[in-house]
């Protein structure tokens, strides 16, 4: 059995399950809701957050907001992808357009340790991947597989059975994403006060305060602030 036939059969069984169809609709609406406000704000020429310019993400957003029509273009792209997701006939195109945008946001959030989207952006990437798999029958023609004749593929019967294994895997994925984002031992946080609070009652108070000052007062890059933190010894007892 070829890979293409196997994928078609798996996809056919999944797409004829009522609960997985509901999940696809939920992902479409949730992803669209994530891009509509941020895209609209960019089109209006406003910054999406009120972070300090000294914050690593604040640096990026401030510079991005001064890129003229490129900033507007990003907003239009976000709103277009969101609108396409909400229309059943264009949802596959919307999912394909959405993916590179949210993947970029996810990598950026992880790189600068931005709490505002540190958890949500990886989950949005996973939801987007689900939609790309859901619309595999529309997108498969761009994949480097030999497609079998449609007549050889039997339609799977409609199923009302709740896919326990799938949703258990989805819950495990959410837990894994949340757990992985908790591996960061030091976070810049959104304000100086919040940044310092993570080091209270620890043996790294001085080092932590220096790290926060490097970020929120001096506006140093995250890597440089982390280097200062690591070079500072533990508090004396």
Judge if 196 and 79 occupy the same domain.
Answer: no
CB 184 within 8 A of CB 209: no
Query: Which among 183, 142, 37, 28 has a CA at the least distance from the CA of 91?
Result: 28
74 belongs to a structural domain: yes
155 inside domain: no
Tell me: do 107 and 205 sit in the same domain: no
* pLDDT confidence of residue 236: 78
Q: Same domain for 197 and 86?
A: no
Whether 30 and 115 map to the same domain: the answer is: yes
Q: How far is CA 80 from CA 34, 84, 94, 192, in A?
A: 12, 6, 8, 36
Domains of the chain: total: 2
Tell me whether residue 149 is in a domain. no
Q: Do 222 and 107 lie in a common domain?
A: no
170 and 227 inside one domain = no
Please state, in angstroms and rounded to a whole number, the distance separating the CA atoms of residues 133 and 139: 9
Same domain, 31 and 134: yes
Q: Is residue 187 part of a domain?
A: no
The answer on 82 and 38 residing in a single domain is yes
With respect to residue 145, please indicate whether it lies within any of the assigned structural domains.
Answer: no
User: Residue 61 in contact with residue 48, Cβ under 8 Å?
Assistant: yes
Shared domain for 219 and 173, answered yes or no, is no
> Which pLDDT belongs to residue 22?
94
pLDDT of residue 125: 97
User: Same domain for 123 and 197?
Assistant: no
Domain limits at 133? 3-140+164-181
Whether residue 27 is found in the same domain as residue 109: yes
Does residue 237 fall inside a structural domain?
no
Domain shared by 176 and 60, yes or no = yes
Query: Is 153 inside any structural domain?
Result: no
Which of 180, 216, 179, 220 shows the shortest CA–CA distance to 197? 216
Q: Is residue 77 part of a domain?
A: yes
Name 89's Cβ contacts closer than 8 Å, sequence gap at least 6.
none
Q: Tens of pLDDT along the chain (237 residues)?
A: 577 778 888 888 888 899 999 999 999 999 999 999 999 999 999 887 778 889 999 999 999 999 999 999 999 999 999 999 999 999 999 999 999 999 999 999 999 999 989 999 999 999 999 999 999 988 888 877 655 555 455 566 777 888 899 999 999 999 999 998 888 989 999 999 999 999 998 999 999 999 999 999 999 999 999 999 999 999 876
Q: Do residues 126 and 173 make contact, with C-beta atoms less than 8 angstroms apart?
A: yes
Give the per-residue pLDDT at 7: 82
Tell me how far apart the alpha carbons of residues 233 and 58 are, in angstroms, rounded to a whole number: 29
In whole angstroms, give the CA distance from residue 37 to residue 8: 36
Q: How far is C-alpha 129 from the geometric centre of its chain's CA atoms?
A: 11
State the pLDDT at residue 73: 97
- pLDDT for 161 equals 86
């Amino acid at each position: 059995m070829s890979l293409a036939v196997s994928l078609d059969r798996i996809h056919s069984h999944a797409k004829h399950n009522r609960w997985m169809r509901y999940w696809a609709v939920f992902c479409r609406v949730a992803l669209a809701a994530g891009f509509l406000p941020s895209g609209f704000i960019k089109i209006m020429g406003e910054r999406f957050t009120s972070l300090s310019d000294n914050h690593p993400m604040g640096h990026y957003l401030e510079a991005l907001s001064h890129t003229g029509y490129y900033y507007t273009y990003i907003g239009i792209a976000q709103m277009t992808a969101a609108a396409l997701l909400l229309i059943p006939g264009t949802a596959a195109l919307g999912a394909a357009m959405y993916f590179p945008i949210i993947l970029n946001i996810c990598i950026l959030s992880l790189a600068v340790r931005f709490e505002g989207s540190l958890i949500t952006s990886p989950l949005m990437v996973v939801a987007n991947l689900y939609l790309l798999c859901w619309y595999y029958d529309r997108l498969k023609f761009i994949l480097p597989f030999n497609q079998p004749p449609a007549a050889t593929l039997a339609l799977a019967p409609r199923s009302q059975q709740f896919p326990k294994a799938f949703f258990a895997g989805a819950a495990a994925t959410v837990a894994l994403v949340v757990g992985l984002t908790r591996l960061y031992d030091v976070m810049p946080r959104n304000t100086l006060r919040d940044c310092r609070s993570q080091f209270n009652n620890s043996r790294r108070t001085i080092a932590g305060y220096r790290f926060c000052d490097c970020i929120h007062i001096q506006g140093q890059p995250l890597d440089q602030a982390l280097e200062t933190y690591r070079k500072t010894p533990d508090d004396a007892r």
